[in-house]
Amino acid sequence: MRRNVLFILLIVSFSCFSKSDISLEFHMGVGTNGHYEIGGTMENKSSETLPYSALTYITIDKNCVPSSAKVANLGPIKANGTLEFRIPVDGVLSSYRVLSVSAWNDMGVPVKVDDKTAEIIKNRDAEFMNSCKLKRAGGAH
């Protein structure tokens, strides 16, 4: 019986330590004077500072051809804080897509990250693909 109680306490304790409430609140591509970047905000609603975070993305050119995936290390996110990031992009930024967002603690354990923008972008996919089909067929420039 005592082993069962210790096992249950261990499971409850581990889930408390490994659970963080991280979210990608916002992101957008911006450009001026030939300099382009992807910027955004991540929020940590937990009491644990996470020393590591990263964003994986692709750029998409004006002909709807995607680049290879790139990973940008964003750095630490303070407990109950926000992290504003800016990722420089080489060349002209016509479009981009966030593939994943990650954060992990000082022991290398990933935490759950909620992308608040994912559903909005997913709802625009059909329109985006139709536009790309037209561009690729030479119907729009």
pLDDT of amino acid 4: 53
- Per-residue pLDDT band at 3 (split at 50, 70, 90): low
Paired tokens of 141: 């420039």
CA 55 to the chain's CA centroid: 5
What DSSP assignment string belongs to 47-64?
Answer: SS-BSEEEEEEEEE-TTS
Long-range contacts of 64-69 (CB under 8 A, 24+ apart): 64/95, 64/131, 64/132, 64/135, 64/136, 66/97, 69/99
In this predicted structure, the answer to whether residue 117 has a pLDDT above a threshold of 70 is yes
Q: How far apart, in whole angstroms, are the C-alpha atoms of residue 107 and residue 72?
A: 20
pTM of the model: 0.80
In this predicted structure, the answer to whether residue 7 has a pLDDT above a threshold of 90 is no
Predicted confidence (pLDDT) per residue in 27-56, tens digit: 999 999 999 999 999 999 999 999 999 999
Predicted confidence (pLDDT) per residue in 66-84, tens digit: 999 999 999 999 999 999 9
